[in-house]
Structure 1
């Protein structure tokens, strides 16, 4: 059964309420990941080895801090939209907006995962290994977060 089908007896209001609850649960998981990543990144400048980073590594680090901040802010977007529109009988707009923001958050978290691997492997091993690992991670993330869900949405149960 796909996410859009729900129970045969489900009303439109019940379907929107269910979708909203599911989106909130997904956002809770992503928010924790984004916050932990941001926390990890915020500790790096206070490590002794940080002073030895080259220009590429520092630029990558600052890029990742910006992505972590934007991702953390975006994960809060659906709650802000819900708070603003609560009681205005526009739950479908709230659910559609939250759905779109979840895609932005997934992009942000994916960028953080690949970018942190790039930075860490670049510091610990070398740049070519780092690029290979980050490229492999990006391919995996595209497979798991884009291709697999697209394929599953086409399958009939």
Structure 2
């Protein structure tokens, strides 16, 4: 397909494109930020419950790793806001959009780890059955399918 055949119909400069992409990225980040911050907030309270002391060493390790992943995800997903504030007016918006996009992508991977760890801990505490890791693996595959594989497939199809 020729470059003309792939045109989107937009007639925008690099700066206008960066402005549009920045706005779209911020909308996407708002959704994920809220989810990760709520999840992280709930995770922070677990250690203060009476049940925490009765968790096995393995469950406490899962909890600690999950909290650290949640903190890292929160940082990565808030990073684009800080980046924008610190580089605003420096005429590097196209690069800032690229960097913020990478931060968001890392944040999504960390969010995947946070959600997986949370689910693993909850299901281990709720039931001690052998199938818990299988359920968690199934959910991880589900997230990977919808968050990464389907978008990559759509991107590949659009490039054909």
The SS at the match of 1:46 is coil
- Which TM-score applies when normalising by structure 2? 0.89
Shift of 1:11: 2.1
Taking the aligned partners of 2:22 and 2:151, their CA distance within structure 1 comes to 19
Match of 2:10 in 1: 8
Aligned-pair RMSD on alpha carbons? 1.8
Is the aligned partner of 1:130 residue 2:132?
yes
Cα distance between partner residues in 1 of 2:46 and 2:8: 45
Partner of 1:49: 51
State the match for 2:23 in structure 1: 21
Structure 1 length-normalised TM: 0.91
Corresponding residue for residue 88 of structure 1: 90
Distance 1:12-1:97 versus aligned 2 partners, 3 A rule: same
Alpha carbons 1:78, 1:101 under 8 Å: kept: yes
Task: Indicate the residue corresponding to 1:149 in structure 2.
Answer: 151
Aligned residues: 154
Instruction: Find the aligned partners of 1:127 and 1:75 in 2 and give their Cα distance.
Output: 34
Note the residue ranges of structure 1 that are not aligned, 5 or more in a row. Answer: none
Separation in 2, partners of 1:30, 1:65: 17
| CA-to-aligned-CA distance 1:9-35 (integer Å, 9 cap, x gap) | 222221110100011111111110111
For 2:47 and 2:37, how far apart are their aligned partners in 1? Answer: 17
What is the alpha-carbon distance in structure 2 between the residues aligned to residue 99 and residue 145 of structure 1? 14
Could you tell me which runs of 5 or more consecutive residues in structure 2 were left unpaired when the two chains were aligned: 1-5
Task: Determine whether 1:63 maps to 2:59.
Answer: no
